[in-house]
Amino acid sequence: MEMSPKEQEEIRARLMQEKRELTKRVDRIHAHAREPLEADSSEQAAQLGNVAVVSALETEAIEEIAEIDAALQRLENGRYGICIGCGEEISPQRLEARPACTECVDCAEVHDA
User: pLDDT (tens digit, 0 to 9) for every residue of the chain, 113 residues total?
Assistant: 678 889 999 999 999 999 999 999 998 877 766 656 555 555 555 555 566 777 888 899 999 999 999 999 999 999 999 999 999 999 999 999 999 999 999 999 987 76
CA distance linking residue 47 with residue 37, whole number of Å: 7
Is the Cβ–Cβ distance between 47 and 38 less than 8 Å?
yes
Q: Which amino acid is at 95?
A: L
pLDDT of residue 36: 61
